Structure 1
Amino acid sequence: MTDHKSLYRIALLLAIITIIYNVVEGFISTYFGYEDESLALFGFGIDSFIEVISGLGIAHMVLRIQNNPNSNRDNFERTALRITGVAFYILVFGLVITSVYNIWTGHKPITTFWGVVISVISILVMWILVFSKRKVGKQLNSEPILADANCTLVCIYMSIILLVSSGIYELFHIGYIDSIGTLGLAYFAFNEGKECFEKANCDKYCSCDD
């Protein structure tokens, strides 16, 4: 049977993998989003960078609960949550304004091929991370780690939106579908930002499990 020390090491490793993956995904998504003029893919990439800030708070949380499982969220985590929340709100504002402008002007992406590829990879990677985090969280009977796993599901939902909008554009070349997909991403980003501020002001770990 795996001891708690080893399980916490696995939990920390999963948090670090999440951070590294989001950094790589962010660079690739913003690059191809800019080159292909796909706002949905570009916005998806910016969201990945914001998730890195959140991931640093999660990694810190794992170390904290390893040393004191019954401790509450500390100042570092609350600050990370507030910064993440502000970043999400700024992202939402930019995505909504640009989406409306693109729909108004009839802007179309050059291609959304990479949106399809990146979203499929993201769904697979994030699902593996969700499964692994849930497994470790259950073994440790840790509410914070289980909550993090549930919140990671939001990344899968956003990847699905990117996949659908990019796939429809590639098949049918409906110009506004990229902007509609972007508005879908903005909706989830707004909810994430709201949740960050809620968590920063209390000791509840996640409302995603509703």
Structure 2
Amino acid sequence: MVSQEKKLLKVAFGLAIFTMVYNLAEGILATHWGMEDESLALFGFGTDSFIEVISGMGIAHMVVRIGRNPGSKRDEFERTALRITGFAFYILVVGLAISSFYNIWTGHQPVTTFWGMVISVVSILVMWALVIGKRRVGKQLQSEPILADANCTLVCIYMSVILLISSGLYEWFGVPYVDSVGTLGLAYFAFKEGRECFEKANSDWYCGCD
């Protein structure tokens, strides 16, 4: 039974590492194509992916902590990672909001949102697979923290859907300002994530990221 738990914890750690590596690659591609195509929504999505890498460090550390001491509570490393992540999300929110309103004011439109559609579809598929994997491991271990992390991964799916809708509406129908409106949608979820990071940093509560 103990060996089975260790195996599941290794799987959970592997999922955390994969999430970090994927978000890093996604962030690089999304910010590059976002700047190249002048798509604020895609650029903001990529920046969010970089922040998720910081968050992933805390998650990976959490899995290691649970493996060493199943009954332990959130330690200072995790709390620090949460606070840094929270600050980063809030900075992102301000930047996205200001840029969105500026683009609406000036009437700026992206060159194309094709790559936004591609990245969002890939992200939805990958993140949904991660949600399933994390939930399966969390249920088998009866681990509230891992299950909470699985639910938080759903936020990445919501943001990917927003990017897909805004990119699709512009690429296929040329709907004006939809890129900026989609960016504001991303900012909303980034704000919620930032707030939840600070709430978790100041308590031992594990969010469900409702």
TM-score band by shorter chain is over 0.9
Of 23-32 and 168-177, more deviation after overlay is shown by 168-177
CA offset digits 1:47-67 (Å, max 9, x no partner): 000000000000000000011
Aligned to 2:145: 144
Alignment of 1:35-54 (within 5 A): 35-54=36-55
Of 192-201 and 168-177, more deviation after overlay is shown by 168-177
Equivalents in 2 of 1:187, 1:207: separation in Å? Answer: 17
- Is 1:28 aligned to 2:40, yes or no? no
Equivalents in 1 of 2:176, 2:40: separation in Å? Answer: 12
Q: CA deviation at 1:69?
A: 1.1
Aligned to 2:85: 84
Q: CA deviation at 1:96?
A: 0.2
Considering only aligned residues, what root-mean-square deviation do their CA atoms show, in Å? 0.9
Scaled by the length of structure 2, the TM-score of the pair is 0.98
Aligned to 1:123: 124
- 3-state SS, counterpart of residue 37 of structure 1: coil
Paired residues in the alignment total 209
Q: CA deviation at 1:207?
A: 3.8
Q: Structure 1: state its 5+ residue gaps.
A: none
Q: Which amino acid aligns with 2:137?
A: V
Equivalents in 2 of 1:177, 1:127: separation in Å? Answer: 25
Give the 4+ runs in structure 1 shifted more than 6 A: none
Q: Kindly indicate whether the alpha-carbon contact (under 8 Å) linking 1:30 and 1:43 is maintained by their aligned counterparts in 2.
A: yes
CA offset digits 1:95-125 (Å, max 9, x no partner): 0000000000000000000000000000000
Q: Structure 2: state its 5+ residue gaps.
A: none
Aligned to 2:57: 56
Equivalents in 1 of 2:27, 2:114: separation in Å? Answer: 17
Q: Which amino acid aligns with 1:60?
A: H
Q: Kindly indicate whether the alpha-carbon contact (under 8 Å) linking 1:109 and 1:175 is maintained by their aligned counterparts in 2.
A: no
Q: Which amino acid aligns with 1:11?
A: A
Aligned to 1:181: 182
Aligned to 1:7: 8
Q: Which amino acid aligns with 1:95?
A: L
- Is 1:106 aligned to 2:112, yes or no? no
Aligned to 2:75: 74
Q: Matched residues, percent identical?
A: 73
